[in-house]
Amino acid sequence: LEHLTVEVRNDLMRVVGKRNFAGHETTMIRQFEVDRTKFDTDNATAVLTDGVLLVTISQKEKGTPRSVVVTSEPHKVEKDAVEPEKSTEKSEGSELAEMTTEPLKETRGDVLPEEEEVVVETVVDEPLSKEDEASDEWEKVQ
């Protein structure tokens, strides 16, 4: 084989090989499904020895769930929080209305003392977008 690549994109591993034999170029393409939530494709390796390609992809270590504190009360507003600028504008057939000219800025503050600890696990399993399907960008396997 003159040219051999192993690439991973989303949940697909693609192996592409090209060979020129007796004046004819032959291209071989194989694709395999790899669940990236279970396997560490970022650290995959590929070795070609005596015509045998060995691709090694380790399983991901199962992490401990991350704890998220959930409260039943809203956060306190910080002292330096900025209130939005307000203007008054008269619209036809109505009284003066108070309007906000800029969006309210998100503020964060101290959590009120009433807290409970809840374990939250999130698994993201997003379908492939049309842009991703059309993209030729693949991650290179070392």
Rounded average pLDDT over 56-72: 79
Q: What is the rounded distance in angstroms from the CA atom of residue 38 to the CA atom of residue 29?
A: 24
Tell me what the pLDDT averaged over the chain comes to.
69
Residue 36's domain comprises 3-59
Residue 82 lies inside a defined structural domain of this protein: no
Of 70, 37, 42, whose CA–CA distance to 57 is shortest? 42
Q: Classify residue 85: in a domain, yes or no.
A: no
Q: Taking a C-beta distance cutoff of 8 angstroms, is the pair 105, 84 a contact?
A: yes
Report residue 82: phi and psi, to 5°. -100, 125
In a domain, 41, yes or no: yes
> Over 90: is that where the pLDDT of 98 sits?
no
Which residue do the tokens 């690549």 mark?
5
* Nearest-angstrom CA–CA distance, 38 and 62: 9
Query: Are 128 and 120 contacting, i.e. CB atoms less than 8 angstroms apart?
Result: no
Residue 66 within any structural domain of the chain: no
- What confidence score (pLDDT) does residue 30 get? 93
Q: Residue 99 pLDDT > 80, yes or no? A: no
- Count: domains in the chain: 1
138 is a domain residue = no
Cβ 44 vs Cβ 57: under 8 Å: yes
Instruction: Report, as an integer, the average pLDDT of 51-55.
Output: 88
Pick from 72, 69, 77, 74: nearest CA to 108? 77
Highest mean pLDDT among 8-17, 79-88, 109-118: 8-17
- Compute the average pLDDT of residues 10-30: 89
> Can you give the pLDDT at residue 13?
92
| CATH number where 33 lies | 2.60.40.790
Q: Please state, in angstroms and rounded to a whole number, the distance separating the CA atoms of residues 92 and 57.
A: 68
For residue 119, tell me if it sits in a domain: no
In a domain, 121, yes or no: no
The answer to whether residue 21 sits within a structural domain is yes
Residue 34, classed as helix, strand or coil, is coil
Cα→Cα distances 41→5, 69, 104, Å: 15, 32, 42
Nearest 5°: the CA angle 7, 11, 13 is: 30
Residue of higher predicted confidence among 109 and 20: 20
- What pLDDT is attached to residue 42? 87
